[in-house]
Amino acid sequence: MTGRFGGMIRDKIIITGASSGLGEGMAREFAARGRSLGLAARRIDRLDALASELEPSAAAVAVAQLDVTDVDAVPIAFDALAEELGGVDRVIVNAGLGKGAPIGTGHAAANIETVQTNLVGALAQIEAAMAIFRRQNHGHLVLVSSMSAVRGLPKAQAAYSASKAGVSALGQGLQAELAGSPIAVTVLLPGYIETDINRGVKTSMMTDTESGVKAMVAAIESERSRAAVPAWPWTPISWALRILPDSISARLI
């Protein structure tokens, strides 16, 4: 079975943003593999309904209502989920927001909210997860970044792109610090996967939700340090975005 690190299977997993989209999809996939799940999101009614669906296949399901921008609430929720599950082996920092507008056009609140949720909220989750992992001296931290983190995007995507670049940088810093330790860090760079955030995007490179989630879970289980998902076409695109001139790279995303 994949998902091993030092002989350990990651049985107990916390997923944030689990009430919809990629978080819900990953919860369903891991439940089908018999894992124990701690699910967190703002919409507790959606979480309760999802938990009821997953309980027959998952080893255990615990839920917690959580707004990740309430940074003081994050470690409380993580500790409560870990206690209910009897520990935690993996935390998937997934909660995110896709609001945005061109900078300087009178919609600063939307851009600031996106950065607060995607970057400040992610940092609060990383702090909480790493506190647990450092205490127990093992764990797997998974950061759901974005292909938009590879290169800054224009107009309505600028703040979102910046927030995800920050998430990637946090992951890279931890990877350098924790190299060779029992704590693994994975940074995921999803391309266009069909979710509410991407529903209005018109592109031939959109991946259906099920295929996208399976690609994400496979990358997570492999515990790679960095993975563009799905690998095709996003791995070569991620390389190209680093070196191509702006006039060409703007057409790729």
Active site residues: 160
**How far is 97 from 16, CA to CA, in rounded Å?**
12
Q: Which residues contact 116 (CB under 8 A, 6 or more apart)?
A: 69
C-alpha count within 13 angstroms, C-beta hemisphere, residue 90:
27
- The number of residues making up the chain comes to 253
Q: Got the DSSP string for 64-104? A: EE--TTSTTHHHHHHHHHHHHHT--SEEEE---------TT
- Number of Cβ within 10 Å of residue 29's Cβ equals 18
Rounded to the nearest 5 degrees, what angle is found at the Cα of 167, between the Cα atoms of 164 and 169?
110
Which two three-digit tokens encode residue 106? 């009178």
How does strand 8-9 pair with strand 4-5? antiparallel
